Amino acid sequence: MNEKINCTEAICAAHNFAVIGHPIAHTMSPFIHTKLFALGNGYPAADYGVIDLPPEELTASMPRLREFSGFNITIPHKQAIIPHLDNLDAKAAFFHSVNTVKNENGRLTGYTTDGAGFTRALESAGVPLTGRIAILGAGGASRVMAFEALDAAQEPDITIAAREHSLPAAQALCNELEQVLQNQGRKGRLSVARLDALSGGFDLLVNGTPVGMYPHADASPVSAGVLAHCAAVFDAVYNPDQTMLLRLAKENGAKTVGGMRMLVEQAAAAHEIWYGATFRESDIDALCREAVEEMERIFA
């Protein structure tokens, strides 16, 4: 069942899985997860619901949420859910962010699969997470992707680029990355740049900002001049499938990866956590295409 559910209704408990967030209109989660349940191995038929849950109702809703086998979490609950959980996976604790919860005998454990979604999306396109990397933005998505880039290279070379008002957050993120390198006894080049002063010359440019997202699809976080000097470009924005950033990058000869692959891959990683699912690469490829078609139908 994919209908929007008011969490105060008893029907909430009848769904095995769900996604919670607010606002959560037009979410792709039911479409993607329902398909994944059909593709995953060794799990009986499961329902997947949508719960539009205002922040002030989270605490009161926890007894009902504990009746689910598992659930996904999106804005604004990724941090707020943590005090209500019984256990926290190491990576979720490190990022202080949860997007997947598993219920084991009434005990809720929080995980984050965003990083896995990002790295798998790059792997599927044959784009290495190495070399000189630019991360656009300093918010939650950018932070996850920056740390994945840090883990992927022995001596990472990462530039965090942000708009003027976000430079303090970018510097704070850079300082966090530097501290991890120091704690691990590793070396690397970490820097902060103003977004409009970014020059290019990157092996991979990663967009973690919402610039270019529907309905403002006629915008790009960087110019074609910057993209002319990037070997590969990843955009976490998935609506539209081909953002202006990706179009400009293609026109300048860069290899491109869109956000829908990350969205599907992080969802697949949640199924691995919930019931040990495995998926064929060809099935994930097909689901990404189907999800784009469904998204375009919804927003037509």
> Mind listing the pLDDT tens digit for each residue in 65-122?
999 999 999 999 999 999 999 999 999 999 999 999 999 999 999 999 999 999 999 9
Rounded to 10 degrees, the C-alpha dihedral 88/38/24/112 comes to 20
Q: Where in the chain is the domain with CATH 3.40.50.10860?
A: 4-112+261-298
Q: How much is the pTM?
A: 0.92
Q: Which residues are known binding-site members?
A: 27-29, 74, 99, 114, 137-141, 236, 238, 259, 266
Q: What is the per-residue pLDDT across 225-263, written as a single tens digit (0 to 9) for each?
A: 999 999 999 999 999 999 999 999 999 999 999 999 999
What pLDDT is attached to residue 13?
A: 41
Mean pLDDT across 18-33: 93
Q: What is the per-residue pLDDT across 207-224, written as a single tens digit (0 to 9) for each?
A: 999 999 999 999 999 999
Architecture of domain 4-112+261-298: 3-Layer(aba) Sandwich (3.40)
Q: Does the annotation count 255 as an active-site position?
A: no
Percentage of residues of the chain with pLDDT beyond 70? 94
Q: Which residues are known binding-site members for NADP(+)?
A: 137-141, 236, 259
**Going by C-beta distance under 8 Å and a sequence separation of 6 or more, which residues neighbour residue 39?**
277, 279, 280, 283, 287
Q: Is the pLDDT higher at 264 or at 44?
A: 264
Half-sphere exposure of 116 (CA within 13 A, CB side): 18
**Going by C-beta distance under 8 Å and a sequence separation of 6 or more, which residues neighbour residue 94?**
147
Q: Where in the chain is the domain with CATH 3.40.50.720?
A: 116-257
Active-site annotation holder among 78, 91, 187, 250: 78
| Domain 116-257: assigned CATH number | 3.40.50.720
Cβ neighbours around 247 below 10 Å, total:
17
pLDDT(137) > 90? yes
What pLDDT is attached to residue 129?
A: 96
What pLDDT is attached to residue 5?
A: 41
Mean pLDDT across 7-25: 68
Q: Which residues are known binding-site members for shikimate?
A: 27-29, 74, 99, 114, 238, 266
pLDDT(297) > 60? yes
What pLDDT is attached to residue 43?
A: 66
pLDDT(41) > 90? no
pLDDT(46) > 90? no
